[in-house]
Amino acid sequence: MSRGIRLTVTVPTADFAASLGDLPEGVDVIVWDMSDAAPRERLDIVVPPYMSVGRTLHHLEAVDVGLVQGQSIGFDGIEQRLPRGLVFANASSVHETSTSELALALTLAAQRHIPSFLRSQAEGRWAPEVAESLADRRVLLLGYGGIGKAVAVRLAPFEVHVTAVASRARDEDGVAVHGVDELPALLPHAEIVILTLPGGDETRHIVDDGFLSALPDGALVVNVGRGSLIDAGALVDHVRRGRIRAALDVTEPEPLPEGHPLWSLPGALIVPHVGGASSAMRPRMARLVRRQIDRMLAGEPPLNVVIGG
């Protein structure tokens, strides 16, 4: 670091600050949860609270900010809330592992009837069932970014047939990735669909009645992307009729309101948007912030910039 250079970094909790460890001389870390006015007029790196970034960005109005470092991979809706001229980076490299773990866990839980066995356990009943395997299933992976690739790696030992689909067809590291325009031909053969796409206008309700109707009876839809990917009304209809099963980490609306049919429909497994919420998150997030600090001190551009820059 050049003599005299100082950086001010804000993080939302004292635990987060402690996880950064020993920092170079001249780097000041301030705990600020963004519930009130900014602690200084100049902030070099701001890390907003996890899962509430959109509700706190207004506190950066009229503040000189070098970088806003989000704690999520997704950033849909952020551009509309981010004060003009600020640079925003997402948390690529932080959540891929945990989210792909959850995608696999949801798939296995749904295939092997774990919710049914949990109900039997709560009732003290020994109730064996013959369940669907994951092995030998045809899995359509819709989304082949960081999380999609991490899911594919974890599926490989389970002896499945994986078809990757993304916005455009390409060959990537020896994997033949299909384009979304090929979905009509691919869906009738997909026994499991795992969604890892980002949100936004281009992907909104990509899973609609037509998509679900093209799947074979009994197909499983797993969503660890964004709730907006699925037309909830169409999904409820197909699950209620026993046509389709669903395992969802994200929903639309979110949180899923009390009394929503997805809570109680047989064939639906719901978890409350916890894809990245594991013990792996904090150390990986701390490493990302440390890298951003080091790059700023070295005069290098930040990583993962998705807005501005």
pLDDT in tens, 15-59: 999 999 999 999 999 999 999 999 999 999 999 999 888 889 999
- pTM given for the model: 0.93
Lowest mean pLDDT among 51-60, 166-175, 206-215: 51-60
The fourth-level CATH superfamily of domain 7-90+279-307 is: NAD(P)-binding Rossmann-like Domain (3.40.50.720)
| Predicted pLDDT at 207 | 98
Q: What is the pLDDT of residues 247-291, one digit of tens each?
A: 999 999 999 999 999 999 999 999 999 999 999 999 999 999 999
Question: Which of these, 7, 59, 68, lies nearest to 38 by C-alpha position?
Answer: 59
Average model confidence (pLDDT) for the chain? 96
What mean pLDDT do residues 56-75 have? Answer: 95
Intervals of CATH 3.40.50.720 along the chain:
7-90+279-307, 95-270
Confidence of residue 1 (pLDDT cuts 50, 70, 90): very low
pLDDT of residue 4: 61
Please tell me the predicted confidence (pLDDT) of residue 76: 87
All residues at 6 or more sequence positions from 34 whose CB lies less than 8 Å from its CB, including other chains: 10, 12, 46, 48, 49, 56, 59
Question: What pLDDT is stored for residue 53 in this prediction?
Answer: 83
The CATH number of domain 95-270 is 3.30.70.20: no
Looking at the predicted structure, is the pLDDT value of residue 63 above 50?
yes
Distance CA(108)–CA(112), nearest Å, equals: 6
Q: Is the pLDDT of residue 164 over 60?
A: yes
Phi-psi region of 90 (alpha: psi -120 to 50; beta: other; left: phi over 0): beta
List strands edge to edge, sheet with 268-270.
Answer: 170-172, 175-179, 161-166, 138-142, 192-195, 219-223, 244-248, 268-270
Question: What three-state secondary structure class fits 44?
Answer: strand
- Where residue 219 falls (left for φ over 0; alpha for ψ -120 to 50; beta otherwise) is beta
Segment 169-178 shows an average pLDDT of 95
Task: Give the H or E element holding residue 81.
Answer: helix 78-81
**pLDDT band of 2, cuts 50, 70, 90:** very low
